[in-house]
Amino acid sequence: MADPKDSVLASRAFPWIGSQFIKSGCDSRNPQLGQLGTQLFLLANSTSAVTSTSSASLSADLHDVVRLLEKACSLSGSWRSQRNDRSTLEMIASRNTLSKEDDERLQFEVDKSLKVFSQTNLAINALTQLIQRCELRQDISSHSVVLDEGTLRPTPSVLMAGEGYKTSGRVAPVPRTLLDPPRALSKWTPKFWLAQVERINRMLHPLSMRDHDAHPVRIAVFDTGYSLDSSYLDMYTHEEKRLSGHWVDWVENSRTPVDVDGHGTAMTSLLMKMTQKAEIFTVRVIKRRQDLETSQVVVAKAILHAATTLNVDIISLSLGFPNEDEIIRDAISEAIRIKKGNLLFFAAAANDGSNRHEMFPASMESVISVRATNSAGGFVDEFDPPPVDDEGRLYGTLGHDIPGHAVDETKPCSGCSAATPIMAGIAALLLQYVQHRLSDRSASSENIRKQIRTKRGMMQIFKAIAVNRGNQRHYVAPFEFFERDDEIRLAIIRVAIANLRTQVVRK
């Protein structure tokens, strides 16, 4: 039987050590450290396979790995003796009991040790042997710092009722038990889908309260405007404050929000429901949807205004043109240049299925094209256009039968136009998380904060968290990502951004 102490250390300490190995591997471009971190995640989630076996060799293998990692993360003797001479792994396993000062010192000491660790190959071999003995996976990746789908799984953690908890500046995962549908819901309905997003927002709330200096994510919604008489504001009266002073009318220069069509109200309400801490600017570029075909000049001016005067991070366009427009194309390119690449555009792919090709500006290389799925992640052929080529990835999210967000508020909302603010909202949640969790001034954190605001960076994150539905289609939802342990979430982000150096990201 395995030593119970070794198993406890593996489940509690290995995930954090794995993330440190990956971070060091990315910073120093050492693929072996990245590979070691990957395999630590595999092992940390599978200690039950060791504790449930009577094999003495498995017990010995695990003990060897524990000793190797203790050596890799060795602390200075004088400081450790002041902490009751606990081993490094014991201190890591009980980080939630450390003071902020001790936790920062622990991270510093471990980072310093990893940089001079000379037995990386030995540790990798020991881990590989143990993992293969346990038959955890038959396809262990040897690729340097690539964490493929299935490698990073939720680590054992204490499940707490509520919306997550904060310990020493770290945010706990949304417990999986809270994300399992109740018995009354045999499947993920759109209503239940959106309810889980609300839980994620509440989980992230402690981060925003702790980091008062961080600027909120700023999003502009280009559409038909917004009505203050909407049922959404009737239900959530406090949300009206978020729209105060964030109204721009390029149609009639109205000083107060107005929407005679209703489409803009529906899209803005969806975005507000997706991200509860973002600053949302409602930009009226058309009076009615049928006015879109003559709106190119207004849309172009509004894009440049949003990039400069409003200084937004994201622009959501639930609209599209059958053909490329030079004025809008140039405005998008200029806006991205002005923002030095740190501007995300989301646009609806189309709404006519295979009867119409991908619309403009969703067809632009610098714009993230959004397709519609149902609440279970299945792509909706009724709305989604065919692929532009045979190799590009297609990304979609919830955009079918969304209750109470249609122009007629008594009917459900569907289409790529509805999926667009939802995808923009997912991006905003990821930006918010990275902005608060990687707020230090290290070169690595600054690079991640910058890259995730670019199209290439955000697409890498989507690629890491999306579910491959086949036929080039990838379903994007935030739930599994935010269910994971905090250290694993950070590792996913770090590895995805590190891959920008080695991969050509296709649209």
Q: What is the CATH number of the domain that holds 445?
A: 3.40.50.200
Does the pLDDT at position 359 exceed 50?
yes
Spatial contact of 374 and 414, defined as CB atoms under 8 Å apart: no
Around 59, how many Cα atoms within 13 Å sit in the side-chain half-sphere?
A: 11
DSSP 360: B
Per-residue pLDDT tens for 43-94?
665 544 444 443 565 566 667 777 777 777 766 555 555 555 667 777 777 7
Question: Following DSSP, what letter does each residue of 361-428 receive, concatenated?
Answer: TTTSTTSEEEEEE-TTS-B-TTTPPPPSSSS--EEEEE-SSBTT-SSSTTS-B-SHHHHHHHHHHHHH
- Predicted local confidence at residue 124, as pLDDT: 67
- Predicted local confidence at residue 168, as pLDDT: 39
493/414 same-domain check: yes
Judge whether 121 lies within some domain. Answer: yes
Does the pLDDT at position 364 exceed 50?
yes
- Predicted local confidence at residue 134, as pLDDT: 53
- Among the residue ranges 10-19, 41-50, 169-178, 482-491, the one predicted with the least confidence is 169-178
Spatial contact of 403 and 410, defined as CB atoms under 8 Å apart: no
Judge whether 381 lies within some domain. Answer: yes
Q: Single out the catalytic residue among 11, 417, 436, 485.
A: 417
Tokens matching residue 340: 């030095």
Q: Shortest CA distance to 318 belongs to which of 249, 395, 265?
A: 265
128/204 same-domain check: no
Judge whether 156 lies within some domain. Answer: no
- Predicted local confidence at residue 60, as pLDDT: 66
Judge whether 150 lies within some domain. Answer: no
- Three-state SS annotation for 116-171: CCCCHHHHHHHHHHHHHHHCCCCCCCCCCCCCCCCCCCCCCCCCCCCCCCEECCEE
- Above pLDDT 70, what percent of the chain? 66
111/198 same-domain check: no
92/230 same-domain check: no
Q: What is the mean pLDDT of residues 28-36?
A: 66
128/197 same-domain check: no
- Predicted local confidence at residue 193, as pLDDT: 92
Domain end, chosen from 134, 154, 169, is at 134
Does the pLDDT at position 195 exceed 80?
yes
- Predicted local confidence at residue 120, as pLDDT: 62
Whole-number Å distance between alpha carbons of 307 and 445: 24
pTM: 0.67
Does the pLDDT at position 213 exceed 80?
no
Tokens matching residue 414: 């569907």
Q: What is the mean pLDDT of residues 139-147?
A: 31
- Among the residue ranges 52-61, 202-211, 278-287, 297-306, the one predicted with the least confidence is 52-61
Q: Single out the catalytic residue among 246, 263, 305, 436.
A: 263
238/369 same-domain check: yes
3-state SS class at 477: coil
Judge whether 386 lies within some domain. Answer: yes
Query: What's the N-to-C CA distance of the chain in angstroms?
Result: 50
120/194 same-domain check: no
Judge whether 87 lies within some domain. Answer: yes
* Total structural domains within the chain: 2
- Predicted local confidence at residue 154, as pLDDT: 32
Per-residue pLDDT tens for 102-136?
777 777 777 777 766 666 666 666 666 665 555 44
Q: What is the mean pLDDT of residues 244-256?
A: 93
* CB atoms near residue 317 (< 10 Å): 29
- Predicted local confidence at residue 486, as pLDDT: 86
Spatial contact of 159 and 174, defined as CB atoms under 8 Å apart: no
Domain of 86 in residue numbering reads as 4-134
Q: What is the mean pLDDT of residues 260-289?
A: 93
Per-residue pLDDT tens for 133-142?
554 433 333 3
111 catalytic per annotation: no
Judge whether 283 lies within some domain. Answer: yes
Whole-number Å distance between alpha carbons of 354 and 390: 15
Q: Single out the catalytic residue among 27, 61, 103, 223.
A: 223
Domain end, chosen from 111, 134, 157, is at 134
Spatial contact of 197 and 257, defined as CB atoms under 8 Å apart: no
Tokens matching residue 285: 């570029």
Spatial contact of 475 and 396, defined as CB atoms under 8 Å apart: yes
124/239 same-domain check: no
196/128 same-domain check: no
Question: Following DSSP, what letter does each residue of 239-299 receive, concatenated?
Answer: GHHHHTT-EEESSS--SS---SSSHHHHHHHHHHHH-SSSEEEEEE--SSGGGGGG-HHHH
420/277 same-domain check: yes
Judge whether 506 lies within some domain. Answer: no
C-alpha radius of gyration, the chain, whole number: 24
Nearest-10 crossing angle of helices 190-210, 416-437? 30
- Predicted local confidence at residue 161, as pLDDT: 29
227 catalytic per annotation: no
248/346 same-domain check: yes
pLDDT, the chain, mean: 77
- Predicted local confidence at residue 89, as pLDDT: 73
Does the pLDDT at position 96 exceed 50?
yes
Does the pLDDT at position 4 exceed 50?
yes
- Among the residue ranges 182-186, 194-198, 385-389, 441-445, the one predicted with the least confidence is 182-186
Sorting pLDDT into bands at 50, 70 and 90, what band is 20?
A: confident
143 catalytic per annotation: no
Does the pLDDT at position 99 exceed 80?
no
- Predicted local confidence at residue 167, as pLDDT: 36
Nearest-10 crossing angle of helices 100-115, 4-28? 70
64/201 same-domain check: no
Tokens matching residue 293: 């075909």
- Above pLDDT 90, what percent of the chain? 39
